[in-house]
Structure 1
Amino acid sequence: MSHQTAPRRPLPLRAEVRRQLRRRRTRLSFGFLVVLPLLLVGAFALGSDDSEGGTSFVDLAQVGPANLAVFAMFASAGFLLVVLVALFAGDAVPSEASWSTLRYLLAAPVPRGRLLRVKLTVALATTLAALVLLPAWSMLVGLVAYGTEAYQGPTGEQLTWAETGLRLAVAVGYLFVSLLFVSSLAVLIGVLTDAPLGAVGGAVLITIVSNILDTISPLGRLREALPTHEQFAWAEALQRDVEWSGMASGALWSVGYSVVLLTAAFVLFQRKDVLS
């Protein structure tokens, strides 16, 4: 029994959680998510409110707390959340290598597969925490700033508070699944480089390229295979009648890409030379 538990002791999950939470980048990331809704409320207060019968998330952001939360998600999904997710996942392995601690972790001994699984698990947990924090905190800020009005959609649909809570949970869940691609890509690049910013920047750059390709209409249905094609499909969960097709397609493509990328990451990490 001692031989079965010994490899686990040098890198317990809670130790990696503490390591992640102590990193300045993680604290700054969550700090910015806390500040963002406050900045949005301030920006709306400084701007002119000349929209009536709004037709977009921007126009309706001041209707109530739920609308502010939805707008914060809409404004963040395309770039900010991508950067944060890439940071949580891409920084894990290269930071150990750049600090020259990776070789000591593996010599502890910690099996390479376990090390990568622990770091991936903590990165995904941190991502989920960030995705929950943004709408939840935005709702609290909106509650103080805009009252208790329930969610109102761009096409005039209104949801009860119970429906809003459930729909936002679906939206957050889909965002988490759709961003698995970014996490997996950052992990893969992270096992190939000793530069944390290289892993983060590489994942963000490839995601941006995917977004650019998605705007090229001559590609036709080929765009459906792009990992970011359905990145805003979570908004369909906020309609009166939920449309599941976009979210189902986006989730399948994201999971498919993630399986391939993570498989490659684990295989390459098993063969990685950590002594050079």
Structure 2
Amino acid sequence: MLKVGSHISSSKGYEAMGKQALKLGANTFAFFTRNPRGGSAKEIVPEDVKRYQMLWQEKGYGQIVAHAPYTLNACSDKPEVRRFAKETFSDDLERMEYIPGNYYNFHPGSHVGQGAEEGIRLIAKMLNECLKPKQTTVVLLETMAGKGSEIGRSFEELQKILEQVELSEKMGVCLDTCHVWDAGYDIAEDLEGVLEKFDKTLGMSRLKAIHINDSMNLQGSHKDRHARIGEGTIGLEAFVRIINHPALRELPFILETPNDDQGWTKEIALLREHFCDS
């Protein structure tokens, strides 16, 4: 069965997230570890976590994808911003061990004029300071659209980060369809070519999750504006190929489209309708 879900509010705890995902028809989901704009995280209640785990195991569902706050910028030119990123990142990884074996996704960051090489060095430095040998969480670098000074606009930039990470076995990649399209990768007409390039640069074993979003922009626009599935410039036919591709079909697909619960329920059903189980 297709593993697909959307972002779920984490304000009411893990059990509530799991139940909300089920209402949408989802069998995976994403959530922010704290307010997307930063700040302190909600206290974890062990009993709530147990109830969620029992619910999820009863359904036989698999991994979910946590998302770091957008304000986390490991390669800022400001020491206090980098310090916030490291402290938040470390705290989130400790919290993730309450739900072992899942994914923690983050935007690599923006070098704000320092240059991509220095930005990559700073991101790898934070990862080397935060990753632990015994952690069960796999940290995912997200592919980015390339706005401004964003790091991660190409597969090569992500690989340059990974090759500097000491515990690289704890690392993976989350491919955002809107972002890679806006970055210039033609996933609509040349999906095979894009995946071949990903494999040659990063290795397909690194790809752990997909943010499945259409785009409001033309390919290569570097703007990052998500659209509902089939209502953007990528188009429904491309997404049918993506969810059914042999190298992708077993991955968790997370919707980040501009929608509400009713809209996500329809999108989840739409994608399931076009998924070939055989």
TM-score of the two chains, using structure 2 as the length reference = 0.27
Largest Rg, 1 or 2? 1
Higher relative CO (Cα under 8 Å, sequence separation at least 6) belongs to 1
More strand by share: 2
More helix by share: 1
